[in-house]
Copies of this chain bind each other. A is one copy, B any other.
Amino acid sequence: MEKIKYITLLTDFGNKDPYVAEIKGILFSSLSNINIVDLSHEISPQNIIEGALFLEQIWDYWQIPSVHIAVIDPGVGTERRIIIIHENQKFLICPDNGLATFILRTKHAEVRHVKYFNTLTQYISNTFHGRDIMAPIAIQLVKGGNWEDFGPSVDDWQVLNIPEAYKKDNNIYGEVIHIDRFGNAITNIRKEQIQDNLPIYAKIKNSFQKIPFSLSYGKVSVGQSVCLFGSGNRLEIAVNCSSAEKQLKIKIGTEVRLVLNKD
């Protein structure tokens, strides 16, 4: 395999505490000519689902030899395992808590349970395995370490129990699974679930309002609601130049029905 020149970081550490800067110090101090790329440190604290959706969405845009460290890790210091996932030219190092759910659902990836790695320090904390275990694993991989040496292949990884949208007659029933910075409500209804019948409008549970289906936010007037397939190919409900979350009082879990054209 080509030499790995990129390590990315995805965490729930935020940007005001020193945790990310400690990891960067360790990585830069051990590896020359490495690019460390912040994916996000603003995943909500301990929110594994948010992290898993983030990883799903970005995964295919990284088409280079790279190591991805994902630390949303409420179980740090307990018996939860640390795993490495190897897919194509990429490695993902993360706790075995469901973070890799969506990647492992769709990719032919191999997974190993990390049992052996070269520590950098004598002492490993019980509260910060991103720094004390996952960063050293990344360093070992970038230095050319054989990934089979980290531990046995496993197939019993943790999976998040995320509801799937389903089709019945000319409706698709789903729910909101993420709300982005713009207040766009992103659902579990995927573009592939639409086949011959075109979407007409969506309805939010307990609301009479028909939210028209369109191709872009700006196709309705400012302040009007609209639904469309967003950049991740999921149905999202938006308000042009405003927040659907606030204006339509949508939350994660809000049920959504997408009405399709009849035959």
Interface, chain A (partner B; CB < 8 A): 6, 8, 10, 12-26, 28-29, 35-46, 50, 53-54, 57-58, 61-64, 66, 74-78, 80, 125-128, 131-132, 180-183, 215-219, 228, 230-232, 240-241, 243
Contact = CB atoms under 8 A, between A and B. Distances in A.
Nearest to A215: B126
A26 B61 contact: yes
B78 A29 contact: no
Contacts of A219: 77-78
Contact of A21 (B24, B54, B75): B54
A46 B74 CA distance: 32
A39 B16 CA distance: 9
15 contacts: A14-B181, A15-B42, A18-B39, A18-B58, A21-B54, A22-B61, A22-B231, A25-B58, A25-B63, A76-B218, A80-B218, A126-B216, A126-B228, A127-B217, A132-B231
A216 B76 contact: yes
A41 B25 contact: no
Contact of A217 (B54, B76, B217, B228): B76
A38 to B, nearest CB: 8
Contacts of A6: 28
Contacts of A13: 181
A38 B183 CA distance: 23
Contacts of A231: 19, 22, 125, 127-128, 131-132
B216 A77 contact: yes
A63 B98 CA distance: 34
Contacts of A180: 14, 16-17, 19
Contacts of A37: 21, 24, 28, 36
A184 to B, nearest CB: 9
A214 B54 CA distance: 32
Residue of A64, A125, A231 with most partner-chain B CB within 10 A:
A231
Nearest to A126: B216
Contacts of A74: 217-218, 240-241
Contacts of A41: 15
A33 B80 CA distance: 38
Contacts of A28: 6, 35, 37, 62, 64, 66
Nearest to A233: B125
A37 B27 CA distance: 12
Nearest to A78: B218
Contacts of A64: 28-29
